[in-house]
């Protein structure tokens, strides 16, 4: 049996329940650094941590709904390519657009 994991609302990666609290502030700092270096038209608003208040009868958080909310938050950080419509993180979108051609 694997230990429970949570998804980072910034990057969308899975982390253990104890290490997520260490990862998220560092990931947000990295996000700010990278976002500040992007051209103005690709900058995004700061991601907000989703609030999931549904608690099961036993007093535990519903991990499935929490994972779903954080995954959706991470996916909202993606930016569509103006040419093909695929979605990327803004720093990789710049690299993609160098070779993207309209089909």
Q: How far is Cα 11 from Cα 7, in angstroms, rounded to an integer?
A: 8
**With contact defined as beta carbons under 8 Å apart, do 82 and 97 qualify?**
yes
Q: What is the mean pLDDT of the chain?
A: 82
Q: What is the DSSP letter of 38?
A: S
Q: How far is Cα 63 from Cα 75, in angstroms, rounded to an integer?
A: 18
For the stretch 16-37, pLDDT in tens is: 888 989 999 999 999 899 889 8
For the stretch 77-99, pLDDT in tens is: 888 888 898 888 887 888 898 89
Q: Which of 48, 38, 56, 44 is nearest to 72 (CA)?
A: 48
């Amino acid at each position: 049996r694997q230990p429970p994991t949570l998804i980072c609302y910034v990057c969308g990666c899975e982390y253990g329940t104890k290490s997520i609290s260490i990862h998220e502030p560092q990931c947000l700092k990295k996000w700010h650094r990278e976002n500040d270096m992007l051209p103005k038209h690709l900058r995004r608003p700061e991601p907000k941590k989703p609030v999931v208040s549904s608690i099961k009868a036993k007093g535990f958080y519903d991990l499935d709904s929490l994972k779903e909310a954080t995954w959706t938050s991470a996916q909202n950080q993606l930016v569509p390519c103006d040419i093909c419509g695929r979605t990327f993180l803004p720093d990789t979108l710049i690299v993609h657009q160098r070779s993207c051609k309209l089909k």
